[in-house]
Chains A and B, each alone.
Chain A
Amino acid sequence: MFPSSFDYVRASSVAEAISILANEEDAKLLAGGHSLLPLMKLRLASPSKLVDIGRISELSYIEDRGEYVAVGALTRHRDLEVSAVLGSSVPMLSHVASLVGDPSVRHRGTIGGSVAHGDGASDLPAAVLALDATMVAQGPNGTREIPASEFFLGFLETALEEGEILTEIKVPKIHGGWSYQKFNRRAQDWAIVGVAAVRNGSTKVSLVNMGSMPLRALATEAAMNSGASISDAAALAAEGIDPPADLNASADYRRHLASVLVKRALEEASSS
């Protein structure tokens, strides 16, 4: 469809974007546009102004910082996919990025946009959750850091405040095993259910499309961290979780898929 009319401004720096946001009621940041523009075309979102941060090059980088890798918010999925730094230190993030949508989505969409959008059905938010990453946000009142476990709050709702920009994601390096299981019917689709597992000392498992936001499989994690077998832990994948139902899957089927995929993910993460 055709979006309602809106104003457009291109910001050339983070500071400029923050100041425009501060002065405009209904403005929204535009990064890769691959979540926002579809909503606008369906007229489910009608911002009065788009502040395009897509060309702020200072926010596109992937840097080795010792214990962690720093990823600029405007780094495209495609850049994650082919990054040598991630390839050696956080290969899961490259792998997850390679499974997002199709090539044109991956060349436009940004990790910051994906994480800030906070869609429970998206791959990268669940990945940063299992990786125990830290989000760096900048706003009129300065810079703050938010751990992934406190970042996702509800349906398309995150800890980012009005006027704040997600600038960087700090991703701890992986020293143990990992796995990402994406179950979908067509290669280009969102996951019907997805599972990220990271064994970095303790075991972290997160779930895609099992709720209104990216979720941790807490019962599975607890079982694993107290020495249960993979099968037993995987059987708890959907414990306490109320998954959605849609044309692709009923809630029951999602629960079943979650345990199958968690089992596969844990087995793979344990073998690498």
Chain B
Amino acid sequence: MNGSILGTRVIRLEDPELLKGRATYVDNLEHPGALYCYFVRSTVAAAKIASLDVARAKELPGVRAVLVASDYDIEPFVPFFPLNEHLKRPVLASGVVKFVGDPIAMIIAADRSTAVDASELVEVEYEPLDAVVDMEDALSINARQIDPEVARNLVASVVGGNSDNPLNGAEVVVRGRFENQRMSVAPMEPNSIAVNPDGDGDEGITVWVSTQMPHVIQTKLSSILSIPKGSLRVITPNVGGGFGGKAGVIQEHVAVVGASLMLGIPLRWMEERGENLISMQGRGQVQYVEMAISRDGLILGLDARMVGDAGAYGGFGGGLVAGSTRSMAQGVYSIPKIRYKAAVASTNTPPIGALRGAGRPEATAFLERIVDMAAAEISMDPIEFRRKNLISSTSFPYQSVMGPLYDSGNFVKALDAVAEVSKYQDLRREQLRRRQAGETVVLGIGVSCYVEVTAGGGASEYGAVDITPDGGAEIRVGTSGHGQGHPTTFSMLVADTLKIPLEKIKFIQSDTKEVPRGGGTGGSRSLQLGGSAVNAAALQVLDVAKNLAASHFEASVDDIIVSQEGTIGVAGSPSHFLSWTDLMDVAKQAGVELAYRGDFNQAGATFPFGAHVSVVEVDLETGLVRPISHFAVDDCGRVLNPLVVEGQQHGGIAQGIGQALYEKVYFDAYGNPLNSSFAEYLVPSAAEMPNFVASNTETPSPLNPLGAKGIGESATVGSTPAVQNAVVDALSHLGVRHIDMPMTPERVWQAISQGSNGPLWSEPPSIFSEIKKSDSGSAPEEVDI
């Protein structure tokens, strides 16, 4: 492929607009005449609403309306995917509130300040109920049952694997209880929506919304609000970060659009930072993991009992423990016997959704912790232990015990690559030197290997390419990129096939009027599905073009070529070439469209993988951890634009460091959120980041013509446990075997002082003995999140 731009570092076409602050988001678009919405939220985690009085708020000048649940005629709905058929979300809480932040009324006012003033005039009397805050407590016999239909607060459960007794007869068993803490999704741009009930002219209703999935919003809103899908246009301008938090609809979307239709007025709503931090949350698992190994370091069996927190109203993310955490529980290792049980609990906390990786990081986190504990138990180097147990590169496609078929992989190659690039042996020597010198700042080296699953859902996507009269091209695609580089990467595919320069390619997405269908962007699905669809469309267009040129020049199609200059003609006959503009005229005369619109279907999921090494310093006197370098080798199949892939790796590493060291959502015993601002919810900044060294191995997927797998979440999956393992490794000579995330200075200091920051093991909740079979709603792994 002489002169192909594929595989080159093309600078992102969309960046100048974003970097100069000229990009438009929902809230900085003009919405003429739109009034402002603001939600009154529950201040208690669990209560009956004894009375709700909005009369004074309604009287405040500038207030147009104050709506409560009974003002709406909307059935409770499923925001994204059902976890338990009984648990649905009402548009506003009615009768009871189930978490702090649960919306109970909506103010509509002429400006934001007035709306907030009015909210202070709403009078609510609560009759408090016992708040069920902790997911393990929720499953105990003594806990208050939150929802009448959900006994023991057990929203869903799953039993998986191939063994009833995976630890039987083992020489060595290691066990640990690991917390995969609840995190806020924390996008820069909070949720935001605007609606014009009159649309533009005869278009019906127009909604602008910050989402990862405009077509899902269109489908959901039209079914929840009983309006024909065709009369609802959904437009998504730039999105300031999704990270899984903007999948599906939220009840605020429904409340705002529902009110706009009811009152016939345009409305707008922008979430505040504090609201965002307490309403978009992910992760939240407690993992009881036991691993059986032989004395010489072979893994013999795995027993995992996992608790997932769904929060209130059966948040779909709670089901990930029964979905992708389960399906990826075998990971990269050859594990002959596995038993996997998961229990998902309802709690009086915000509903759990997706967060970058959505279930896969949780799987890799527990595996990589238990593997490190196993290696430490028999005093084997963590890389050596892993190498011994990795699935061999000759076993692909590989049938996992947990269900999935891994499409392609070479796990050993990635591990070898990261050991080499990180100079692993030198790091070990420096670690030893510091220990022997009795230095107070010690070195920790953390290793992790991972495999994850992408595009495991419907695995179909829409893509179209139209040649324009000026000889350029328009791409339309059903994915909905929001920072991942699609305008650049997808345009590169068209430029490469049709030899149309990048600046003449227009990239169109995220508007249901322009793009008839689409699955949006989530679960690292976009390039392999949307990109493949665009690629296929470009090839189809090329086919049409060649046929046109052939008949125009009365030549054989086989002799038609596209030149590097972007002209089409007969090979070896320089005078017989047409530009794309000329060809458009030819097409017009022939009554043929120089365009193709279609869907790409992929036969199954793809499985990106990789290996990371993280290096940290730990101050033994204070417990402060300082990341000093992070090496990532991520394999996402064929790399189309290394710059874009590296960007995803860097962001993923940063987010992994965030979970490992900084971020956690805290509640008090009554369910009050304790860190609902960026002063208390600690997202690390560039200043805390170490040097990143990101590279790739390339093992193409056989499942799509690009050979592509997802990269959007991989680095988060791989980096988090590497950082966690590095901190534990730094303290291993003191007898420390585990520290839960986030590894705050205080937790690390406790571990240093006590040799651990808590018991390594305790018995899992008794509910596991009652879970004999799977009982969950449509498993969230069926969709791309």
Contacts and interface: CB of A to CB of B under 8 A. Distances in A.
Interface of A: 1-5, 43, 183, 185-189, 192, 247-250, 253, 256-257, 260
Size bracket, chain B contacts? 20 to 34
B675 A247 contact: yes
6 contacts: A2-B112, A2-B116, A43-B116, A185-B682, A186-B687, A189-B682
Nearest to A254: B746
A245 B749 CA distance: 16
B33 interface: no
B624 A187 contact: no
B621 interface: yes
B117 A185 contact: no
B745 interface: yes
A2 B113 contact: yes
A247 B680 contact: yes
Contacts of A5: 113, 117
Contacts of B661: 185
A111 B684 CA distance: 27
Given A4-B117, A185-B624, A247-B675, 11 more contacts: A1-B272, A43-B116, A183-B745, A186-B662, A186-B684, A186-B685, A187-B688, A189-B682, A247-B680, A249-B745, A257-B622
A1 B675 CA distance: 15
A124 B272 CA distance: 31
B389 interface: no
Contacts of A183: 622, 624, 745
A260 B749 CA distance: 12
Nearest to A261: B622
B264 interface: no
Nearest to A3: B113
Contact of B685 (A4, A188, A192, A250): A188
A185 B744 contact: yes
Nearest to B674: A247
Contacts of B128: none
Interface string B670-692: 00001100011010110110000
A1 B662 CA distance: 25
Contacts of B749: 253, 256
Contacts of A257: 622
Contacts of B666: 247
B116 A186 contact: no
B744 A248 contact: yes
A1 B744 contact: no
Given A2-B116, A186-B684, A250 B746 contact: yes
B758 interface: no
Contacts of A3: 113
B36 to A, nearest CB: 10
Nearest to A253: B746
A133 B266 CA distance: 58
A253 B746 CA distance: 7
Given A185-B662, A247-B674, A1 B685 contact: no
A186 B622 contact: no
B169 interface: no
A174 B353 CA distance: 56
A79 B679 CA distance: 25
A186 B684 CA distance: 7
B274 interface: yes
B613 to A, nearest CB: 23
Interface in B607-659: 621-622, 624
A82 B406 CA distance: 58
Nearest to A263: B621
A185 B272 contact: no
